[in-house]
Amino acid sequence: MKLRVLMIEDDPKAAEMVLMLLRRGGFEPDLERVETAAALEAALGAARWDVAISDYHLPAFSGPEALAILVRKAPDLPCIIISGTVGEETAVELLKMGAADFVAKDKPARLVPAIVRELREAGARRQRREVETALRESEARFRTLFESSRDAIMTLAPPTWKFASANRATVRLFGAESETHFTSLGPWEVSPEKQPDGTPSSIQAPQMIERAMKEGSCFFEWTHQRLSGEVFPATVLLTRMELNGQPLLQATVRDITEQKRAADELSKLSRAVEQSPASVVITDPEGNIQYVNPKFVAVTGYTREEARGKNPRILKSGELPVAV
């Protein structure tokens, strides 16, 4: 196994001893020896190392000084201190400063097992850090989307199922003072006492929550109520999710007041056309009939099916159906 070793040592013979121990331990070491703080910093900037090994006593600077540079410049690089004169209390202090291990010069056999252990633990730390970084980045992206959405988005957390978070659109939609103000509420507290079907909101809301947790998602219409008391219709999408291993529900709420109003206007217009005493014909851009009202059917004798797709010129063709 190849191993890049940065050794802080003034004695070439000590470095040769370390090389011999590493080779006996099954490593193929590539070792660079430095003796000064400047050389140490230059080596750290020039290459990536697997392990650092430092003597405690150095003519130019000390092991603790070398350790301080390593912690500052390469915090993930495991450093093993070697010395023949350091006592137990000093060794403990070195470990507190960030040393990975301490090996006494009269027990050199401990060096290879210490390196093997530190390489394994460094890999685990690196993997954990990568996971944590990915999680932070994912949370940051989610938060950006969460805050920039035009729809009101909020999360609900068990066991009380009160709101745990809310974006700016939610705060505006319900007229809350802030996210903190809104998250002090439960879903039944931003709803009228009863839904249009007469079911109390405090009973129906937990039912929708239970359904979403069981099925993974749940989409429905719901009557909400702003904190001012104004009632409005909305669509709600509840989606089950996990955050840091904890179950949550994300609720996406869209005010459909305008859609409802437009649908009502269209319904009124449709009824007016259907009941009009005049014949009404609607064509597509090519002039083909798409709709006729009952008065047209009564006057012309054409059924809606017969008229659909025809050109209004049929009314002047002399080919009117035989009256029943």
- At residue 131, the pLDDT reads 64
pLDDT tens for 113-139 read 888 888 888 777 777 776 666 666 666
pLDDT tens for 133-161 read 666 666 666 566 666 678 899 999 998 89
Residue entry with tokens 């090994």: 53
Residue entry with tokens 């040769």: 16
Range in 18-27, 58-67, 175-184 the model is least confident about: 58-67
CA distance 318 to 321: 9
- At residue 94, the pLDDT reads 80
- At residue 324, the pLDDT reads 41
In sequence order, the 6+-apart residues with CB closer than 8 A to the CB of 111 are 18, 21, 22, 53, 80, 82, 103
CA distance 156 to 145: 18
Range in 102-116, 195-209, 295-309 the model is least confident about: 102-116
Mean pLDDT computed over 80-97: 78
pLDDT tens for 304-322 read 888 888 888 777 655 555 4
Mean pLDDT computed over 176-181: 92
Alpha carbon 309 to its chain's center:
51
Q: For the chain, what is the mean pLDDT?
A: 85
pLDDT tens for 16-29 read 988 888 898 889 98
Copy the structure tokens of residue 278. 């005049």
- At residue 323, the pLDDT reads 47
CA distance 52 to 76: 11
Half-sphere exposure of 268 (CA within 13 A, CB side): 6
pLDDT tens for 254-279 read 999 988 888 788 888 888 888 888 88
CA distance 12 to 17: 9
CA distance 192 to 228: 12
What's the Cα-to-Cα distance from 281 to each of 188, 267, 269, 293, rounded to whole Å? 48, 17, 14, 7
Copy the structure tokens of residue 242. 């996990």
- At residue 142, the pLDDT reads 59
Range of 69-73, 115-119, 232-236 with top mean pLDDT: 232-236
Mean pLDDT computed over 189-211: 92
Total residues found in the chain within this entry: 324
Provide the sign of the torsion angle of the four alpha carbons 195, 200, 202, 205, taken in this order. Answer: negative
Nearest Cα to 290, choosing from 312, 315, 268, 321? 312
Beta strands 101-104 and 79-83 are parallel
Q: Is the peptide bond before 75 cis (omega within 30 degrees of 0)?
A: no
Q: How confident is the model at residue 200 (pLDDT cuts 50, 70, 90)?
A: very high
Residue 247's DSSP bridge partners are 242
In sequence order, the 6+-apart residues with CB closer than 8 A to the CB of 192 are 201, 223, 225, 231
37-46 and 63-73 helices cross at what angle (nearest 10)? 30
Gyration radius (Cα) of the chain, Å: 38
